[in-house]
Amino acid sequence: MRNTAKITTAALAAGALTFGLTACGSSDSGAASTDGPLVVAASPTPHAEILTYVRDNLAQQAGLDLEVKEFTDYVTPNTATEDGSVGANYFQNQPYLDDFNRKNGTHIVPVVTVHLEPLGLYSHKVKSADDLKSGATVAVPNDTVNEARALKLLADNGLITLKDGVGNEATPADITENPKKLKFKELEAAQTPRSLDDVDAAVVNGNYAIEADLKPAGDALVLESAKDNPYGNFLAVKEGNEDDPRVKKLAELLTSPEVKKFIEDEYDGSVIASF
């Protein structure tokens, strides 16, 4: 779309390099300039689509100049927010952010939670989770939080049992019972839907499922419950920028009745408003 920039692989690499250079400098988290448009980094689906709806339908009347930049990975939006390349991001949940800040020394903080994308188990080879054969291979995301979340989904649905108390750092090594002798293929989260022809099943994040034309509400063999779910996706900024008037305005628009209706109409239960 006209004001939505898709970031190429080269640009992603450049962004990562920029972060690597700046990470060695000052950790000062002072507020950035509030002049000019608010540039927000987002995953293409549904985050950038929701932001684009806000930009095209609500922002001008609210006096907000909004620019959307699409990123296809789960790293660069945070590094770009940390180094000031963008003013905010919208793609992640709290357990993922906590883990990212701890491992990378970043200072990203949430502003407002907007929606939940239920994680699901999908397959091109079986019609139900019970149909998975002994020794079946299941693809799971390879980042710490999403892998743990995927294993918890399988545990909640009786496919495996996890060691007590492993929480958001669970790995296949923490499986105590595996009656189907499932094997696990750890992949970058974006690759999990593309693996469905090569594995027996895959646990796929909601945004990547939608991009792959999967319908979580109808196609998932098992799906995360929305009740008391800690994985809501939020608008986030570098610490110190929470009071940027542009950020506050966007937070209000993202939790407006208009955006809630857009989410309900556009995603038919595959994305759930959290407000």
Examine the domain organization and report whether 67 and 168 are in the same domain.
no
Examine the domain organization and report whether 131 and 106 are in the same domain.
no
Q: What pLDDT is attached to residue 268? A: 84
217: domain CATH number is: 3.40.190.10
Whole-number percent of the chain with pLDDT over 70: 88
| Nearest-angstrom CA–CA distance, 182 and 132 | 9
Q: What pLDDT is attached to residue 87? A: 98
Q: What pLDDT is attached to residue 269? A: 84
- Counted domains in the chain: 2
Nearest C-alpha neighbor of 42 from the set 30, 54, 32: 54
Tokens of 137: 């291979």
Q: Longest C-alpha distance within the chain, in Å?
A: 59
Examine the domain organization and report whether 42 and 71 are in the same domain.
yes
CB 2 within 8 A of CB 32: no
Q: What pLDDT is attached to residue 25? A: 38
Flag residues of the chain having pLDDT under 70.
1-33
Examine the domain organization and report whether 132 and 203 are in the same domain.
yes
CB 166 within 8 A of CB 148: yes
Examine the domain organization and report whether 146 and 91 are in the same domain.
no
Examine the domain organization and report whether 41 and 103 are in the same domain.
yes
Other beta carbons within 10 angstroms of residue 171's beta carbon come to: 16
Examine the domain organization and report whether 207 and 144 are in the same domain.
yes
Q: What pLDDT is attached to residue 6? A: 38
Examine the domain organization and report whether 138 and 264 are in the same domain.
no
What percent helix, strand, coil does the chain show, rounded to 5?
A: 40, 20, 40
Q: What pLDDT is attached to residue 225? A: 85
Q: Which domain holds residue 124?
A: 120-223
Tokens of 144: 């710490």
Tokens of 173: 């090594």
Contacts of 62 (CB under 8 A, 6+ apart): 249, 252, 253
Other beta carbons within 10 angstroms of residue 34's beta carbon come to: 13
> Which pTM was predicted?
0.75
